[in-house]
């Protein structure tokens, strides 16, 4: 096992990793920018090293600074958290070239899933159901026309190098195809430096269902069920829950089994998430994320496993510590993402927190790096806390969420907390009856 791990991240996820390290008796090294000298992850780690100025590009994304911090501190492994360098295959290669361990999958697996066409082809070969669409990239408008005519409108044009909703365009008829195709290519070139695009049948009312998977690179792999992450605004998740309110045990076993077998066959190592659109009882693969996700705690709650501990063990060369048969769902969990944003426009509003009081009690978990008096720097993303509740069933989790939100105090800044009180009163949320468009419609109507 490692003696010392460096965490190449900040905020609540850095604390999350430090906590796992401490329970495993592993020393932790925080890295931070000059804007984060007073940050909680710096205080909570065993050691801290300043790696550069406030902009992420010169600190949390600076590969030489992070590698140097490992050499200075004697850390043997790097946990990347989510975002920043967590899905950067070149970084993983450099880490390995320095005889350090990246706590995550291989550079090859990250690269494979980063290219959305390769990801989809791989998924298809492994027996994962995919959205109908073009075979690979679509080089020109004539090809786009014939592919779209073949499967019927509406269609969606996506960037090969994209993901997370960036660079997508919908065309509802052949009239719209030319503009959509040209815009998608131009935007893909500008955003990713690669103008290759592909086409899929556009699903009109799906849910976003993602399957948590875990492999040990030794041929063992499991799935930890699904999360429903359909409540999103501008491709930012707002509330996530597990199990999915629309998914039966039979469907879970079926799609989960397909995903676990695929992960085993790939020789994948570490935590991963296979994202699907789910409509009319069918799953359609869209992407795979090769990192620990923000919403991993809902899965931890219902399965009673520590996913970060497992990531560290697997990276150190241990086999998975549980089998599929060990994994049973217990109850229901919901996470809300509390952002330092002002409603109704979700404008980021960093500033100084006066009072901070985290809720507690049975079935309540608060992952946050806030403290009273903390000044939230304006340079990073606006997530300041994740509130995760766990109950014996969904109604209990919903009641617990309302109770816990009532106990939470974050004074001095605006947050998205009022949105969650409003959502808890909605019939669609109470009944788990929503799709990927529900939240945007709700927000548009609330503003009328």
Q: For ligand MV4, which is the closer residue by CB, 211 or 364?
A: 211
CB of 89 to ligand MV4, least distance (A): 19
Here the tokens at position 441 are 């419609």
- Quick check: helix, strand or coil at residue 247? coil
> Is-catalytic flag, 291?
yes
Which residues contribute to the site for ligand MV4 (CB under 6 A)?
A: 131, 156, 164-165, 200-203, 208, 232, 235, 277, 286-287, 436
Partners of residue 373 on adjacent β-strands: none
Structure token pair of residue 210: 């993602």
**Tokens at residue 231, please?**
């409540």
Contact yes or no for 181/141 (Cβ under 8 A): yes
Count of alpha carbons within 13 Å of 408, Cβ hemisphere only? Answer: 28
d(CA 409, CA 370): 11
**CA diameter of the chain:** 62
Radius of gyration of the chain (CA): 22
C-alpha to C-alpha distance for 115 and 168, rounded to whole angstroms = 15
Q: What angle do CA 40, 44, 49 make, to 5 degrees?
A: 85
Q: CB of 257: closest distance to ligand MV4 in angstroms? A: 23
CB of 440 to ligand MV4, least distance (A): 8
Instruction: Give me the residue whose beta carbon is nearest to ligand MV4.
Output: 165
25: left (phi over 0), alpha (psi -120 to 50) or beta: left
Shortest reach from residue 360's CB to ligand MV4, in Å: 32
**Strand 47-52 vs strand 27-33: parallel, antiparallel, or unpaired?**
parallel
Q: Which is nearer to ligand MV4, 268 or 285 (CB)?
A: 285
| Rounded Cα distance, 374 and 48, in Å | 18
Given the residues 16, 252, 291, 313, the one annotated as active site: 291
Spatial separation of the C-alpha atoms in residues 7 and 28, rounded to whole Å: 7
Tokens of 174: 């052949």
What is residue 21's three-state secondary structure? helix
3-state SS, residue 442: helix
Residue nearer to ligand MV4 on the CB measure, 264 or 286: 286
Beta carbon of residue 260, minimum distance to ligand MV4 (angstroms, whole number): 22
In terms of CB distance, is 11 or 83 closer to ligand MV4? 83
Q: How far is the CB of 199 from ligand MV4 (least distance, A)?
A: 9
70/78 Cα distance (integer angstroms): 8
Q: For ligand MV4, which is the closer residue by CB, 100 or 130?
A: 130
For residues 28 and 435, which CB has a smaller minimum distance to ligand MV4 in the complex? Answer: 435
Least distance in Å: CB of 232 to ligand MV4? 4
Nearer to ligand MV4, 165 or 373 (CB): 165
- All residues at 6 or more sequence positions from 307 whose CB lies less than 8 Å from its CB, including other chains: 212, 214, 224, 271, 292, 296, 299, 300
Quick check: helix, strand or coil at residue 438? helix
Mind telling me the catalytic residues? 291
């Amino acid at each position: 096992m490692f003696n010392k791990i460096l965490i190449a991240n900040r905020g609540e996820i850095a604390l999350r990793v430090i906590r796992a390290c401490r329970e495993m008796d592993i020393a932790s090294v925080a890295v931070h920018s000059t804007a984060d000298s007073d940050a909680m992850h710096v205080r909570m780690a065993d050691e801290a090293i300043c790696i550069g100025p406030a902009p992420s590009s010169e600190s949390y994304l600076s590969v030489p600074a992070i590698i140097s911090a490992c050499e200075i501190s004697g850390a043997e492994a790097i946990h990347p958290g989510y975002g920043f360098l967590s899905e950067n295959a070149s970084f993983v290669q450099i880490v390995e070239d320095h005889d350090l361990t990246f706590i995550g999958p291989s550079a090859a697996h990250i690269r494979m899933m980063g290219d959305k066409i390769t990801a989809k082809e791989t998924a298809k070969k492994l027996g994962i159901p995919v959205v109908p669409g073009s075979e690979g990239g679509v080089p020109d408008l004539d090809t786009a026309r014939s592919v779209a005519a073949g499967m019927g409108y509406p269609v969606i044009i996506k960037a090969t190098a994209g993901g997370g909703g960036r660079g997508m365009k919908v065309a509802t008829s052949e009239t719209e195809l030319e503009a959509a195709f040209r815009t998608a290519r131009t935007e893909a070139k500008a955003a990713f430096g690669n103008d290759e695009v592909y086409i899929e049948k556009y699903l009109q009312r799906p849910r976003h269902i993602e399957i948590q998977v875990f492999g040990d690179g030794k041929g063992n792999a499991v799935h930890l069920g699904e999360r429903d992450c359909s409540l999103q605004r501008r491709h930012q998740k707002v509330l996530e829950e597990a199990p999915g309110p629309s998914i039966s045990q039979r469907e879970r076993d079926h799609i989960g089994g397909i995903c676990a077998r695929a992960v085993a066959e790939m020789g994948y190592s570490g935590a991963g998430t296979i994202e699907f659109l789910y409509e009319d009882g069918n799953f359609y693969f869209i992407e795979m994320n090769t990192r620990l996700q923000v919403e991993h705690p809902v899965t931890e709650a219902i399965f009673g496993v520590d996913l970060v501990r497992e990531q560290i063990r697997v990276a150190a060369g241990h086999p998975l510590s549980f089998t599929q048969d060990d994994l049973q769902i217990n109850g229901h969990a919901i996470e809300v993402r509390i952002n330092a944003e002002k409603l109704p426009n979700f404008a980021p509003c960093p500033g100084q927190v006066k009072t901070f009081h985290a809720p507690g009690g049975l079935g309540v978990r608060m992952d946050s790096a806030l403290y009273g008096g903390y000044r939230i720097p304006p340079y990073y993303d606006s997530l300041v806390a994740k509130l995760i509740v766990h109950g014996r069933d969904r109604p209990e989790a919903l009641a617990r969420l309302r109770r816990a939100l009532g106990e939470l105090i974050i004074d001095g800044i605006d947050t998205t907390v009022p949105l969650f009180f409003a959502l808890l009163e909605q019939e669609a949320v109470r009944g788990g009856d929503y799709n990927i468009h529900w939240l945007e419609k709700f927000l548009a109507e609330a503003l009328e």
